[in-house]
Amino acid sequence: MPDQESIVTLDPRDESDPGQAVVATRPATLNGKIIGLFSNNKPHSEILLRMIADVIKERYDISGVVEHNKGGHQWPAQPSDLTALAQQCDVAIHATAE
Amino acid sequence: MNVNDIIASHHQFANWDEAQEYYLDQGLTDGLPIVLPTPRKVQAMLDHMGLAPDAIIGTETIRRKSFTAEKLAINAVMAGCKPEYFPAVVTAIAAACERPFNFHASSTSTNGITLMVMVSGPYAQEIGMNAGVELMGNGTRANATIGRAVNLVKTNFYGSVAQEMDNSTFGHAGKFSFCFAENLEVSPWPSLASAKGFGDGASTVTAFAANAPLQVSIYGDQEPETFLTQTAHAMLALGPSVSEAMVVISPEIMAYVGESGWSRQQIQEFLYEKTRRPLQEWLDWKRLDHPAKGTDPQEPRSCFADPGRITVVPGGGMAGAFIDIITSWGSSRSVTREIQTRF
């Protein structure tokens, strides 16, 4: 029979402190910047990223675009990919599109 | 160790009904009522294995979640596990935390997979697991609650909550629980644990990112080529990039396997070869978008990268000529670990 007395139970969730995520500093303008497009290899992600780059080009006088593909959507980006991207561009956009 | 060492938050309720409603309302169950995780029950789970509450069982590196023994024990109690089932739960989570399993992506994909647990070796029989009639279905506490426990850990602790982080298009019933044991009584082979190099008498858990099973009815003569050809034909529907498959063969068919003298490896190789089709055929069926540059359209490609991607397991009830195919998700690889009952 269920206990009708006061009952104490435990919490099944993760209660650890996840820490603070740090957002990268944003530039004041995209004028003169190199834009990185970082695809996750989904079928239309590169198409979407290029469309976004075209919109940015209309609004800002950017100095270039570089493209990277992380080679598969099911795994996180390799640190070497991120390092290469950071060396080649000022800002990066990541996108997925089926 | 005693209940005072437990770190998790405590909740107090006026009665059983109020507590049960809290867990249901907070989305801390799979939609079904739970066994209330009291400190005494959770402590019994930890004591069975000699685990400290804060012992780290495994760490998932993408969300940086470290699974503690205490939290696993809480979810195992909620699932209805007996303490003697806890080693299977602990081993399954530790296995799923290994990188090849790809815990994070497999817990979030629209594909809707479950964390399936397959136990091989004497431990399964010791705790009363079912490897026979209805082994993947309902009716056996050990199977039902171990499978339920690991999926409660996935939702409650990891955060892979349905309709939130988990956006499975369909999902499947195995997301409540999917756990069974290898049927060694009908097998002519050493256990899977032994075949994987864990030694005689070892027991293992294989963590497998599982789609819903596909059951193949077997007709015709008793030659392995006949029933494995039927199985291979069903596999073709899965396409040319299946990460892994667990093929569960019923005892009636296993008797024919035994008479033929076929090994596990022969079955793996036969299925691999029989599912090879010219690249052009996969393209014609739109199972591939485009061939890699420079590839010959007549070059054969199997459903699997190599025969080792197929795991063959005897299991099920004595009556019925069936073979079950359970495929794994995307890039996930199954991980097998030896069960440690005491720390």
Interface predicted TM-score of the whole assembly (ipTM), two decimals? 0.93
Position A98 pLDDT exceeds 80: no
Position A1 pLDDT exceeds 60: no
Q: How confident is the model over A7-54, as pLDDT tens digits?
A: 999 999 999 988 888 888 899 999 999 999 999 888 788 899 999 999
- Mutation target for A interface from B22, B40, B74, B101: give the one with most A CBs within 10 A: B74
Q: By C-alpha distance, which of A20, A64, A73 is closest to A43? A: A73
Domain residue extents for chain B: 1-211+335-343, 213-327
Give the start-end residues of each E strand in B162-229. Answer: 179-181, 204-210, 214-217
* Rounded Cα gap, residues A50 and A54, in angstroms: 6
Q: Residue B42: its chain A contacts at CB < 8 A?
A: 10
Q: How confident is the model over A34-46, as pLDDT tens digits?
A: 999 999 888 788 8
* Rounded Cα gap, residues B336 and B91, in angstroms: 9
Give the tokens for residue B236.
């073709």
Is the Cβ of B317 closer than 8 Å to some Cβ of chain A? no
pLDDT the model gives residue B142 = 98
Q: How confident is the model over A69-81, as pLDDT tens digits?
A: 888 888 888 888 8
- What's the pTM? 0.93
SS3 call for B106: helix
Which residue matches tokens 């890039």?
A: B331
Is the Cβ of B243 closer than 8 Å to some Cβ of chain A? no
Which residues have a Cβ under 8 Å from the Cβ of B74 and sit 6 or more positions away?
A10, A11, A12, B8, B37, B42
- Better-predicted residue by pLDDT, B149 or B297: B149
* Rounded Cα gap, residues B23 and B31, in angstroms: 10
Average pLDDT, chain A: 89
* Rounded Cα gap, residues B58 and B115, in angstroms: 15
Nearest residue in chain B measured CA to CA from A74: B105
Q: Residue B16: its chain A contacts at CB < 8 A?
A: 2-4, 7
Q: Are B96 and B207 in contact (CB under 8 A)?
A: yes
- Mutation target for B interface from A10, A40, A45: give the one with most B CBs within 10 A: A10
Q: How confident is the model over B74-107, as pLDDT tens digits?
A: 999 999 999 999 999 999 999 999 999 999 999 9
Confidence of residue B33 (pLDDT cuts 50, 70, 90): very high
Cα three-residue angle B224-B326-B340, rounded to 5 degrees: 105
Which residue matches tokens 């290994």?
A: B98
Q: Are B109 and B168 in contact (CB under 8 A)?
A: yes
Confidence of residue A4 (pLDDT cuts 50, 70, 90): low
Which residue matches tokens 């794994």?
A: B328
pLDDT the model gives residue A77 = 85
- B229 to chain A, minimum CA–CA distance in Å? 32
Q: By C-alpha distance, which of A77, A19, A76, A14 is closest to B65? A: A14
Is the Cβ of B241 closer than 8 Å to some Cβ of chain A? no
Q: Are B326 and B213 in contact (CB under 8 A)?
A: yes
Nearest residue in chain B measured CA to CA from A3: B16
Burial of A1 (0-12, 13-18, 19+ CB in 10 A): exposed
Confidence of residue B309 (pLDDT cuts 50, 70, 90): very high
Q: Residue B58: its chain A contacts at CB < 8 A?
A: none
- B105 to chain A, minimum CA–CA distance in Å? 6
Q: Are B87 and B123 in contact (CB under 8 A)?
A: yes
Q: How confident is the model over B187-214, as pLDDT tens digits?
A: 999 999 999 999 889 999 999 999 999 9
CB contact under 8 A, B331 and A4: no
* Rounded Cα gap, residues B46 and B41, in angstroms: 9
Q: Are A46 and B109 in contact (CB under 8 A)?
A: no
Give the tokens for residue B185.
């009584």
CB contact under 8 A, B78 and A12: yes
What residues of chain B, 134 to 153, have a C-beta less than 8 Å from chain A? 152
Report DSSP letters for B39-70, one per residue: HHHHHHHHHHHT--TT-EEEEETTTTEEEEHH
Give the tokens for residue B60.
């998932």
* Rounded Cα gap, residues A45 and A14, in angstroms: 33
Is the Cβ of A24 closer than 8 Å to some Cβ of chain B? no
Average pLDDT, chain B: 95
- Better-predicted residue by pLDDT, B270 or B4: B270
Out of B16, B156, B158, the one facing A7 most closely (by C-beta) is B16
- A98 to chain B, minimum CA–CA distance in Å? 12
B215-222 average pLDDT score: 92
pLDDT the model gives residue A74 = 85
pLDDT the model gives residue A81 = 86
Burial of B317 (0-12, 13-18, 19+ CB in 10 A): middle
